[in-house]
Amino acid sequence: MGVDLTKFEVVKSSLEALFKEVNLDKPNRRFVFNDGKHSSELVFTREFIDDITVDRLKAYMEKNIVPQLKANPGKRVSVSTGWIGVSEKDSS
């Protein structure tokens, strides 16, 4: 059974409201986007994406993830159940 694609659409629409060139690497649950100056990444663990409901994901994007993305341009923001990490992007 695959990931509920509605969840990817929720994330993508949240990102598109604030960033440009939002692209999804679906197999890796990774979004790549930019703010006009910096390219950033948002990555989800499988457990997080599988376990969260669509409604909770919408709220979590707004209250937790988007503020981290805005505060860390040009970085990778990784999201798992119970934590959000910020790191340098890989060059790959």
Give domain status of residue 91, yes or no. no
Banded model confidence at residue 2, pLDDT cuts 50, 70, 90: low
Assess whether pLDDT exceeds 90 at residue 10: yes
Asked if 45 and 89 count as a contact pair (C-beta separation under 8 A), the reply is no
Give domain status of residue 40, yes or no. yes
Q: How many domains does the chain have?
A: 1
- CATH code, domain carrying 64: 3.40.1350
pTM of the model: 0.91
22-69: per-residue pLDDT in tens? Answer: 999 988 899 999 999 999 999 999 999 999 999 999 999 999 999 999
- 44 lies in which domain range? 5-84
Give domain status of residue 89, yes or no. no
Residue 85 to residue 3: CA distance in whole angstroms: 22
Q: How far apart are the first and last CA of the chain?
A: 28
Give domain status of residue 28, yes or no. yes
Give domain status of residue 78, yes or no. yes
Q: Copy the structure tokens of residue 25.
A: 């690497």
